[in-house]
Amino acid sequence: MTSPLAIDLHGLRPEAALARLERGLHTARAQGAAQALVITGRGMSNRTQTPVLRQKVEAWLAGPGGQRSGVRGFERTAKGGSLLVRLG
């Protein structure tokens, strides 16, 4: 089994991160990938020490944007610093 395509969103603002996520998932599906690894970081280095980006990415993956992009589910990995996204 090959490693999933990595989409690194770490350090991006939410709007830029979601745009990169959509492009990355499109690329992964075009390559026939069954999974993508979405790197968000754990979110502990911001002022409030809360995972803002991961929450927005998870909401997008679970919503209409994720459905359009072929997302079939996802789970947190790397102690919450990334998401393994299943594609269909």
pLDDT at 80: 80
Q: Regarding the domain delimited by 5-87, which CATH topology (the fold level of the hierarchy) does it fall under?
A: Ribosomal Protein S8; Chain: A, domain 1 (3.30.1370)
Q: Map out the domains of the chain as residue ranges.
A: 5-87
Structure tokens at 19: 């745009």
Q: Of residues 10 and 7, which shows the higher confidence score?
A: 7
Q: What is residue 67's three-state secondary structure?
A: helix
> Which residue from 60, 59, 62, 57 is spatially nearest to 73, judged by alpha carbons?
62
Q: Under 8 Å CB-to-CB from 67, ≥6 apart: which residues?
A: none
> Which residue from 19, 28, 11 is spatially nearest to 71, judged by alpha carbons?
28
Q: What is the mean pLDDT of the chain?
A: 90
Confidence of residue 44 (pLDDT cuts 50, 70, 90): low
